[in-house]
Structure 1
Amino acid sequence: MEENIQTLDRLYKDHHGVVVNVIGYDRIGQRVIYRRTGYEWECAAPLIIFRARFRRIDK
Structure 2
Amino acid sequence: MQKNIQTLDRLYEDQRGIIVNVIGYDHDGQRVIYRRRGCDWECVAPLIVFRARFRRIDK
TM-score by length of 1: 0.98
TM-score when normalising by structure 2:
0.98
Where does structure 1 lack aligned partners over 5 or more consecutive residues?
Answer: none
Tell me what 2:18 maps to.
18
Match of 1:28 in 2: 28
Is residue 5 of structure 2 the alignment partner of residue 5 of structure 1?
Answer: yes
Q: How many residues align?
A: 59
Runs of 4+ in structure 1 deviating by more than 2 angstroms, as ranges, are: none
CA RMSD of aligned residues (A): 0.4
Residues 17-56 of structure 1 aligned to structure 2 (within 5 Å): 17-56=17-56
Structure 1 letter corresponding to 2:10: R
Gaps spanning 5+ residues in structure 2: where?
none
Q: Deviations over 1:18-48 (max 9, x none)?
A: 0000000000000000000111210000000
Percent identity at matched positions? Answer: 76
